Amino acid sequence: MGTGTDGEIKRRKLSKAERLQVYDKCNHRCAYCGCDLEYKNMQVDHAQPLRCGGADEMNNMLPACRSCNHYKATLMVEKYREYIEGIPDRLNRDSIPFAVGKRFGVVSENRKHVVFWFEEIGIEVGE
Ligand SMILES: [Zn+2]
- Which of 49-53, 95-99, 122-126: highest mean pLDDT? 95-99
How high is the pLDDT of residue 8?
Answer: 59
Strands 61-64 and 43-46 come out as antiparallel
Task: Output the CA 68–ligand 1 centroid distance in Å.
Answer: 4
The confidence score (pLDDT) of residue 4 equals 46
Q: Would you state the pLDDT for residue 7?
A: 52
Place 10 in a pLDDT band, splitting at 50, 70 and 90: confident
Question: What confidence score (pLDDT) does residue 70 get?
Answer: 94
What does the pLDDT read at residue 11? 82
pTM across the whole model: 0.86
pLDDT > 70 fraction of the chain, expressed in percent and rounded: 91
- CA 94 – ligand 1 centroid, Å: 24
Higher pLDDT, 127 or 102: 102
Instruction: Give the residue extent of every domain in the chain.
Output: 16-120
Domain 16-120 top-level CATH class? mainly alpha
- Cα 118 to ligand 1 centroid, rounded to whole Å: 11
- HSE, side-chain direction, 13 A CA sphere, residue 77: 22
Torsion of the alpha carbons at 8, 66, 35 and 115, rounded to the nearest 10? 50
pLDDT at 12: 84
- Cβ proximity of 126 and 47 under 8 Å: yes
- Given a cut of 80, whether residue 5 has pLDDT beyond it is no
